[in-house]
Amino acid sequence: MAAMQDRIHDWVQRERAVILDSLRYIVGINTENLAPNGNERAGQLAVAAMLRALNCEVDVYEISTVPGLLEHPRYWAARPCTGRPNVMAIRHGVGGGRSLMFSSHMDTVPVGPDPWRHAPWGGEVADGRLWGLGAYDMKGGLVASTLVVKALNDLGIRLRGDLMIESVVDEEFGGCNGTLAARLKYNADLAIVPEPTNLTVCPAHHGGFMLRVTFEGKPGWSFSPEHPVDPIIAVAHFVNLLNEWAAHRMRTVTVPDIYRDNHKLPVLINQLKAGDVTQPFFADRVPGNAWLTLWAETYAGMTQAQVLADLQAFYRNAQATDAVLAEFEPTFTPIRWLDGSAFATDHAGVELLARLTSEVRRQPALVQGALFACDGHIFNLYSPTPMVLLGPTGGGPHSPDEYIVIDDYLDLVEIFIRTAIEWCG
Ligand SMILES: [Zn+2]
């Protein structure tokens, strides 16, 4: 085994340029998820071609054709899926071993309005990092999984179990249709989802609740005896209230054991609309309404009804002491709910990933819940495939100048190759 470990380590070091070129190539393909229709096709065809060239059996399939998808309770009809193919590549084992799936999403968030120092589709290498939109979330993980196949081929290693490399569409912004279609069609004894976890082994992940809260006022301007009611003042008070609610949740929710050392449940405000901003100089009135959209993270087992009731009760309590909020009864409009999920930390797959991460990194691996929501719940709650998250080190997800750390990335590739060999046999 030691000889095999050395061969794998040497392969990764020797192939450093190929590894980075492969990632640069996929980062260089624009796959911004411009909701609702997406933009993954070119990326999916490219990764399918890569895997075909590595002698995998490759299935590029329209997700809308998967039986049971459109009727599934977790199918999100607001997100059209035509022209958005998933990719599944299988390197068949010789039989008698466990199957392993690496599952990644091809879509990235939109590049956004903020300036980048490094070209978003350039894949520039500088300062020990590879920069680019999606490098960290999660083309790094996707490309690392394709390189497992190349390593096994180059080293002449046959596995007993099947190795499955998957690239799905439309994961960002609470999309799960691609993953759901995939789990209705293909399953494995274990899945690794290489979302960016900074090399932490994560057998659990957050869920989240996207919610719009609208305050209705009385539009107008102040000519006595008119009395406009400005909903912007209410929103200002509500923003403060959300900070207090976030602190209240931190104190009151039941913290799963796997989050004992990293308990965080952020409440983020990602949109705020108030007043007519199309006017060139200024608007001539206080607006009739104002709203904000918030994202509240959750743990496995929480429900949308519980979280909404908790926020509404917190609002009602605040009305007793806040004269502004007392005047407003906002409308709470749910936009999207994603479940958190978790599976057993003593599962053989978690133990294997923790051991191999510790060995390759030469320090004890961190095993904790992931601090973000993702499509993992589709695996754990709606399929027979258990899922663990383990992905690259880096920064800037959903923001300018996203990157991965190259040396750590090579370690990740090494961990993945060794995991495939040990898991599949
Ligand atoms: Zn992601």
Question: What's 381's domain CATH number?
Answer: 3.40.630.10
Given a cut of 80, whether residue 19 has pLDDT beyond it is yes
CATH number, domain of 309, equals: 3.30.70.360
pLDDT for 349-376, tens place per residue? 999 999 999 999 999 999 999 999 999 9
Instruction: State mean pLDDT over 24-30.
Output: 98
The total of other beta-carbon atoms located within 10 Å of residue 17's CB is: 8
Residues 321 and 359 in one domain: no
Å from CA of 139 to ligand 1 middle = 9
Residues 124 and 16 in one domain: yes
Å from CA of 318 to ligand 1 middle = 36
Å from CA of 18 to ligand 1 middle = 24
pLDDT value at residue 25: 98
Å from CA of 181 to ligand 1 middle = 17
pLDDT value at residue 224: 72
Task: Give the total number of structural domains in the chain.
Answer: 2
Residues 234 and 377 in one domain: no
Instruction: List the domain range (segments joined by +) for residue 326.
Output: 206-338
pLDDT value at residue 343: 85
195 closest CA partner among 17, 401, 373 = 373
- The CA-atom distances, in angstroms, between 315 and each of 76, 330, 337, 392 are 29, 10, 20, 40
pLDDT value at residue 227: 82
Instruction: State mean pLDDT over 190-213.
Output: 98
Strand blocks (E) in 39-162: 57-62, 85-91, 100-105, 125-126, 129-131
Residues 117 and 53 in one domain: yes
Q: What is this structure's pTM?
A: 0.94
Tell me the pLDDT of the chain averaged across its residues.
96
Residue 31's identity, in one-letter code, is: T
What are the structure tokens assigned to 255, written together? 């913290």
Residues 198 and 326 in one domain: no
Å from CA of 398 to ligand 1 middle = 9
pLDDT value at residue 37: 86
Å from CA of 286 to ligand 1 middle = 39
Residues 235 and 364 in one domain: no
Å from CA of 295 to ligand 1 middle = 16
Residues 303 and 353 in one domain: no
Instruction: State mean pLDDT over 123-146.
Output: 98
pLDDT for 289-298, tens place per residue? 999 999 999 9
pLDDT value at residue 1: 65
Which residues neighbour ligand 1 (ion) by CB within 5 Å?
137-138, 195
Residues 188 and 42 in one domain: yes
Å from CA of 397 to ligand 1 middle = 8
Residues 134 and 7 in one domain: yes
Residues 134 and 254 in one domain: no
Instruction: State mean pLDDT over 310-332.
Output: 97
pLDDT for 168-187, tens place per residue? 999 998 889 999 999 999 99
Residues 26 and 160 in one domain: yes
Å from CA of 374 to ligand 1 middle = 7
